[in-house]
Amino acid sequence: MAATALKEQLNGLVNSMFAEGLLDEQFQQLQMLQDGSNPGFVAEVVTLFCEDSERILADLTKLMDQAVVDYSKVDAYVHQLKGSSSSVGTQNVKLACIQFRQFCEENNQEGCMRALNVVKHEYYHLRSKFETMLQLENRIQAYETKQQN
């Protein structure tokens, strides 16, 4: 059955994301909160996380482009991103944010620039996996709805 094959593909993708360190056990907690009464919960949280992250990364880029960098503002944004990545279980993004905050504490401009690039790299890598994940979920949902009707 097509839905079974898609589910296997989805499980394979998510498992590989755990194996690669993109996700940690907090993501499993979110998966456990998804059920028949709330089938779109993981998709909802992932979508909110991506929207938040892109807004924060855009703001961080502007702040780091300033002639004089306000490290307390940069740190506040990185703290936000670290928080939401921790809540979603996006491990590599969280770890990159922790590194970034250390450079903020030192007022290390070069370190912060490098760290920002690392966070962006980790985030965009994760985002492409999340996009595939959500596409697969939507296709599975579409098959299952069709079967019920």
Partner 1 sequence: MMSLAREGSQGGRELHVLAVDDSSVDLAVIARLLRSSKHRVTTVDSGKRALELLDLEPNVNMIITDYWMPEMTGYDLLKKIKESSTLKEIPVVIMSSENVPNRISRCLEEGAEDFLLKPVRPSDVSRVCSRVM
Q: Which of 45, 93, 126, 140 binds partner 1 (CB under 8 A)?
A: 45
Q: Minimum distance from CB of 83 to partner 1 (Å)? A: 5
> Which of 44, 70, 105, 106 is close enough to bind partner 1 by CB under 8 A?
44
Question: Which amino acid, one-letter code, is at 13?
Answer: L
77 binds partner 1, rule: CB under 8 A? no
Q: Token pair of 94, please?
A: 């969280």
Is the Cβ–Cβ distance between 69 and 109 less than 8 Å? Answer: yes
Distances (CA, A) of 147 to 34, 35, 57, 96, 143: 21, 19, 41, 43, 6
Query: Which range of residues in 9-17, 80-88, 102-110, 119-127 is near partner 1 by CB under 8 A?
Result: 80-88
Nearer to partner 1, 86 or 132 (CB): 86
Query: Interface with partner 1 includes 143 (CB under 8 A)?
Result: no
Distances (CA, A) of 18 to 21, 28, 65, 133: 5, 10, 34, 13
Q: Which spans of this chain sit near partner 1 (rule: CB under 8 A)?
A: 26, 29-30, 33, 35, 38, 41, 44-45, 48-49, 51-52, 79-80, 82-84, 86-89
